[in-house]
Amino acid sequence: MFTKNNKMAIEITLNRYDRVIKKLQKAPATFEEIYDHLNLYSDYNDNDLTTSKRTFQRDIKGIFKQFGIEIKCNRNEGYKYYIEKGYDEIINNRLLESYQIHNAINLSKQFETSVFFESRKPSGIEHFNTFLHAIKNNLVAKFIHQKYYEVSPASPRQTR
């Protein structure tokens, strides 16, 4: 069972992962540069994201485990960390983007008078796992098109 403190620790860790990835996507950086970046970002979200070098090493493993992004250190160029190419950027970027949107919405609570997010219910995402299951098992999915303003779905066409 997650306690409030556990949830907060997880949120801080994910924020730190996000900021480390963003920093290294722009350019390789030393631990000190990453530390300074985390320190600067800590001021924006009211959480201390700075970390020791040992925790940073654990974060590198955690980033790989969670996002499949491998971070390496180039000792020949002043111990600069960089993101190893070859990971599935499309899927990982979408995952990161989803987390960043979630984080932005949480941060927006502090700026309620300045930032207004559209309030809408996500539609269709509840069917996503069903379609993944169908794809994985080579099942056929059939759709019936229904116009938004019609009461009943259109009758399916007969194929010959």
Q: What is the pLDDT of residue 66?
A: 84
Q: What is the pLDDT of residue 13?
A: 87
The CATH code of the domain that includes 40 is 1.10.10
Question: Per residue in 22-59, pLDDT tens?
Answer: 899 889 999 999 999 998 887 766 778 888 999 999 99
Look at 64 and 99; give whichever has higher pLDDT. 64
Does the residue 68 lie in any domain?
yes
* Residue 2, pLDDT above cutoff 60: no
Q: 99, 19 in Cβ contact below 8 A?
A: no
Residues 122-148: what's their mean pLDDT?
75
Does the residue 140 lie in any domain?
no
Q: What is the pLDDT of residue 74?
A: 94
Task: Tally the domains of the chain.
Answer: 1
The pTM for the full model equals: 0.60
Does the residue 22 lie in any domain?
yes
Tell me what the pLDDT averaged over the chain comes to.
Answer: 77
Domain residue limits at 47 = 4-111
Question: Per residue in 100-133, pLDDT tens?
Answer: 676 666 665 666 666 666 666 666 666 666 777 7
